[in-house]
Amino acid sequence: MSSDLVSENAAAAQPSARKQKSRKWLIRLVSIVVTGALLLFLFSKLDWQRLLDMLRGISPLALVGALLAYGSQNFFRAIRFRVLLERDAPLRLLLPITFYHNFLVRVLPFKLGELSYIFLLRSRLNINLETSVSSLFGARILELMIIVLMTTIGFILSSGQAHGDAGLYPVLIPLLFVGCLLILYFAGALLRLATGITRRVLARILPNMPHLLTRIFAKLDDVAIAMDSLRQPRLFAKAFLVSFGTYGSAVVLNYIMLRSVGVDVPIFVMITILSMGQFASAFPFSVSGFGVVEGGWALGLLLFTNTPTDDAVAIGFLLHGFQVLAATIYGTLGYLAVRMQPPVEGEGESHAA
């Protein structure tokens, strides 16, 4: 009897597994098509000679400064991982792991690079899967909220400069900042509330809930649970402040590069442009961000500066290309540092239990 039940369950699971696999390949195919189409469009607008002139115009001092800023950005990421892991993970391993992870995220397609962080934490620091995933997800949520916050502030200040009206900003920006803090701190509870309301409304409209919606709600429940891990005052405060170090380093890096190619804009305008490039990198249907990141930078420059289209596209390729180069340099150093050091023994055993 039990064997028949197992056979039935296995038979029922096979079509579901096939559907998931087909859906995954469909998403990958769409990503390849979108990336290819965007790159072809951007290449048609790219002035290669202008790009080469920009490359020649960047001073060695600016390159060194930008590389140091990129290293600083990943240093703060490593500190944030350490905070979210809630343990004294040695930076001698966590920092090179962060360098190598960041490199793989930038060059491997379909977000496969994210798996390297989980694997390396398990193999080198003996940290269990649940803790690794929770810290990675927490870091991504914090990064997204900082980008949303700074984008909104930058957009408000940019609009105010264009219209010559900044009277409400001393009140509006602190309120916005506090509001984002509260939303981030209670993000898990708020998402759970919104999901519950949506589920009840849809249940009245659709008595037989489609399987896809059921899966989406289940994923959102998992996200809410992961967000709850941030609802600890000391942990939240530390991780949030460190995230500003990460964002600030990105601002310095791109400010240096933009000034090197002749784009001189107020810092809040630059923050708005930077955020568009960062949002583009999170676009789900792309291969390692290629095409969408360059397009995000170009669109930001066209919307908020007087940069010609040819220059905007060239700058987009220049900035993304530099980030990939910097990630490769630091990623190689990180890989070598990880390989040269012995793994930590016994760190995750008590926690895993």
pLDDT in the model for residue 330? 97
Radius of gyration of the chain (CA): 23
pLDDT in the model for residue 337? 95
Residue 311 near residue 51, CB atoms below 8 Å: no
pLDDT in the model for residue 305? 86
Band (pLDDT 50/70/90 cuts) for residue 323 is very high
Give residue for tokens 């659709």: 206
Residue 132 near residue 352, CB atoms below 8 Å: no
Residue 126 near residue 344, CB atoms below 8 Å: yes
Residue 113 DSSP symbol: T
pTM: 0.82
pLDDT in the model for residue 171? 64
Question: Residue 104: which H helix or E strand, with range?
Answer: helix 91-107
What is the Cα–Cα distance from 16 to 268, expressed in whole angstroms? 48
What is the Cα–Cα distance from 259 to 209, expressed in whole angstroms? 54
Give residue for tokens 């600083």: 72
* Three-class secondary structure of residue 121 per DSSP: helix
Q: What mean pLDDT is predicted for residues 211-231?
A: 78
- Residue 128 has phi, psi (to 5 degrees) of -70, 165
First to last CA, the chain: 36
Retrieve residue 68's tokens: 């140091």
